[in-house]
Amino acid sequence: MSGVTTDDGGIPGSPDDREYLYTVLNLPKTASDQEIRERYRQLSVLFHPDKHQDETTKATATQRFLEVQKAYQVLSDPYSRRAYDLLGPQGLQVIRKTDLTDIPEAELDNYLLRCNREMQDERPEMLFKSENRIVAGYDASSLFDEDIGYYSDQVPGKLERLRNRFEDIRQTGLTFRHKFQRRINDKTSIVVSDRLNARPASGRPGPVRIALLGTVSHQFSPRLNFEATVSVLQTSLLSTKTTYRDDNNTLTCQVHPPRALYWLFSGFTSSPGPMTLAYSRRLSSKSPMEGTVMFQTTSVAPALAIILSSARLFDHTPEANVPPAFLGASPPLRPPSKSGLAMGSTYWELQFSLASLWSGINAEWGVVLAEIGLRLKTGIQLGMAGLSWSFGGEWRRGENSVGSSVACNLGGVTFKFDMSYLGQALTLPIVLSHDREPGLALWTTAMPSAALVLTYILVLRPRHRRERLRFFRDARRALHEEKAELQRETKETVHLLQDVAKRHMDAEGACDGLVILEAFYGPLERDEAAEGLDLDVTVALQALVHRSQLYIPGRRSKAGLQGFYDPVPGVAKVLRIRYTFRGSLHYAEISDWMPVVLPLEEHLVD
């Protein structure tokens, strides 16, 4: 322990841990009020400054005494203790700014969480958000062109040709984008963005173009939103966008200038300029499929698009099939899966476009692996310009990401690399060929794909396994520290059931009936992470056997049975039973929330 307490409820030098104050008193989170008072009396007497005459020990004792005082002050009050248990040190700031005296106990948790969210939203980084992006385009087609076209009578050697190919790589563009967002209130926010474009010409610096845009967004109601974008330098309105959204429908209308401002003040009598109308609707209450019709007016020709899209979540973890109430964790807490690929979502989109020469069919499919933060997507387009396709992937962790994509279309083959860190982004679009070359595109796709697979095998999967090991290690520590009293009571209960279980076993053995050889209650998945968390419930189950039958109702967790407890909350659990009936060996694995009916012929071991 270290340091004196601060005004904001923290302790200098202490970890940001929701159990730190319990550690000060050396008590589990399940400690009763009486245990807290007794431990406070013991430690306050031990560390009271008046008990120490030596100046060196007196200073240390004073620090410890203040820590004990702070811990008791928080944990002895039911409101501050509940806030600390729920939100940690941040919870003490919540109750310091909030009056909880009139809040019903049943609504206390929800109220604390809501207050905490409001405080988080008021932080400067939530009110003001800044982002930067650099886009640097390169033309590297000289690396893959068969005929570079040298003006020399001598045929260059291999090294010289290779050097010439690299020297011919040129920069095609450079763009700096900066954007910051400021929230005015709950309904209104502004976004100011600037863009600087520098396009080199023949290897020399080209013209520089600067744009400064401002967007005001206002939420009139939960369903109606309005946005207006203006060019600050040219003091002209660029676009207005209105969106109406309810549970099943979305309607969007966006008007683009150049005549938007004039059209607005001319009584809507003149041509409004380019416009986009889009209407989306969920097609069925039983399906996530959504249909969209989008109509655009442009200076060339109108365009119409019909889009069908759908997205589905998938969860292949054992906990997915268990009702949350039976997982025994509040708030819900689930372990990482073995592979990191068990949870996520898939989506697809199919678009039919009528837009002059750009008419065609577009299809896109993607998958998001939520546990490791990996996103993959592929798209294909068939139209009057021919067949085009793209493939890309992105790994994201928090605000940081890295990804790449390859596109093969009428404009050639392009490789794009993206990276972002704490709101700072870098994009490198690299043209590999100005011709459509599927072979080059496939090879370009293969290299980052191989790198992605190696990254998963060597980095992502090992790290995910460490997170899984950490989860179960924390569960073991909580089992020994917080549930020591529960374990002791369970052992005493099993001891009390031993005589009953022995009588039942003797009676069943005499009539060749149902005899429980061994039974364990623990995690459904068995691996090195979950090792040692099985609870031996052989005696408890044998005590429940009656007339060669065992029945335990379902739709409730078995952790409440006599001789049971939950060894690891948040994890799908199973009851594994090995028993004999009529001299034959039987084995059953029964999910925690399913009923237990023994004996059954399907449990017979060949």
Question: Which pLDDT score, from 0 to 100, does residue 336 have?
Answer: 86
CATH of domain 20-121: 1.10.287.110
In whole angstroms, give the CA distance from residue 69 to residue 75.
10
Q: With a cut of 60, say whether residue 151 has pLDDT above it.
A: no
Question: Rounded distance, CA 305 to CA 359, Å?
Answer: 9
Give the confidence band of 13 by pLDDT, cuts at 50, 70, 90.
very low
Cβ-based burial of 519 (10 A; exposed 0-12, middle 13-18, buried ≥19):
buried
Nearest partner of 579 among 606, 603, 595, 553, judged by Cα: 603
Of 454, 459, 464, 452, nearest to 339 (Cα)? 464
Instruction: Summarize the confidence of residues 155-181 as an average pLDDT.
Output: 80
Buried b (16+ CB within 10 A) or exposed e, 587-596: ebebbbbbeb
For 255, the token pair is 């008007």
User: Alpha-carbon distance 353 to 586, whole Å?
Assistant: 63
pLDDT of residue 518: 94
Average pLDDT over every residue of 457-471: 88
As a whole number, mean pLDDT of residues 347-353 equals 93
- Tens of pLDDT, residue by residue over 229-238, are 888 777 666 7
Check whether 251 has a pLDDT greater than 80: yes
Q: What is the three-state SS of 297-333? A: ECCCCCEEEEEEEEEEEEECCHHHHCCHHHCCCCCCC
**DSSP class of 460:** I
Mean pLDDT lowest among 36-45, 104-113, 281-290, 354-363: 104-113
Query: What integer pLDDT is reported at residue 586 of this predicted model?
Result: 94
Least confident interval from 67-71, 431-435, 501-505, 577-581: 67-71
pLDDT of amino acid 313: 87
Is the confidence at residue 255, as pLDDT, over 70?
yes
- Helix H or strand E segment including 165: helix 158-167
**Those residues with Cβ within 8 angstroms of residue 2's Cβ, 6 or more apart along the chain or in another chain:** 11, 12, 13, 14, 63
Give domain limits for the chain. 20-121, 316-412+434-465, 484-603
- Residue 272: per-residue pLDDT: 53
Structure-block tokens of residue 465: 């396994």
CB within 8 A of 24, min separation 6: which ones?
1, 67, 68, 70, 71
- So what's the pLDDT on residue 329? 61
Q: What is the pLDDT of residue 569?
A: 84
- The residue ranges of DSSP E strands in 19-168, in sequence order, are 128-139
Interatomic CA distance for residues 516 and 506, integer angstroms: 11
Q: Region 34-61: what's the mean pLDDT? A: 78
pLDDT of 263 reads 45
Q: Is the pLDDT of residue 340 over 80?
A: yes
CA 363 to centroid of chain Cα atoms:
27
Give the confidence band of 268 by pLDDT, cuts at 50, 70, 90: very low
More confident: 199 or 220: 220
Dist. CA 412–CA 172, nearest whole Å: 15
Mean pLDDT for 588-599 is 91
Beta bridge pairs of residue 430: 138, 415
Greater confidence (560 vs 326) lies with 560
- With a pLDDT cut of 90, the percent of the chain lying above it is 22
Contacts of 107 (CB under 8 A, 6+ apart): none
Which of 6-10, 264-268, 594-598 is predicted with the least confidence, judged by mean pLDDT? 6-10
Predicted pLDDT of residue 117: 62
Q: Are 538 and 577 in contact (CB under 8 A)?
A: no
Question: CA torsion 138→143→144→146, rounded to 10°?
Answer: 130
Q: How confident is the model at residue 480 (pLDDT cuts 50, 70, 90)?
A: confident
| pLDDT on residue 209 | 80
User: Measured between alpha carbons, how far is 205 from 471 in angstroms, rounded to an integer?
Assistant: 55
Rounded mean pLDDT, 276-304? 86
Cut 0.75: pTM above it: no
Looking at residue 321, its pLDDT comes to 79
* Cβ partners under 8 Å of residue 588, min gap 6: 575, 576, 577, 579, 598, 600, 603
Q: What is the distance, to the nearest Å, from the Cα of residue 210 to the centroid of all Cα atoms in its chain?
A: 37
Q: Identify which of 102-106, 199-203, 519-523 has the greatest average pLDDT.
A: 519-523
* pLDDT surpasses 80 at 356: no
**Across 152-166, 170-184, 252-266, 396-410, least confident range:** 252-266
Per the model's pLDDT, the better-predicted residue between 406 and 299 turns out to be 406
- Give the pLDDT band of residue 121 (cuts 50, 70, 90): low
Instruction: Report the C-alpha gap between 224 and 58 in whole angstroms.
Output: 65
- 378 exposure class (CB count in 10 Å sphere: 0-12, 13-18, 19+): middle
State the average pLDDT over residues 309-331.
Answer: 78
- The mean pLDDT of the chain is 81
| Least confident stretch, 266-270, 527-531, 591-595 | 266-270
pLDDT at 95 over 80: no
Instruction: Give pLDDT, residue 390.
Output: 92
In whole angstroms, give the CA distance from residue 223 to residue 228. 17
CB 515 within 8 A of CB 579: yes
Question: Highest-confidence range of 46-50, 482-486, 522-526, by mean pLDDT?
Answer: 522-526
| DSSP tag of 434 | S
Residue-wise over 138-172: b if at least 16 C-beta within 10 A, else e? bbbbbeeeeeeeeeeeeeeeeeeeeeebeeeeeee
Task: Kindly report, residue by residue over 416-441, the tens digit of the pLDDT.
Answer: 999 998 878 999 999 999 888 888 88
* Least confident range of 302-316, 332-346, 429-443: 332-346
Average pLDDT over residues 96-108: 64
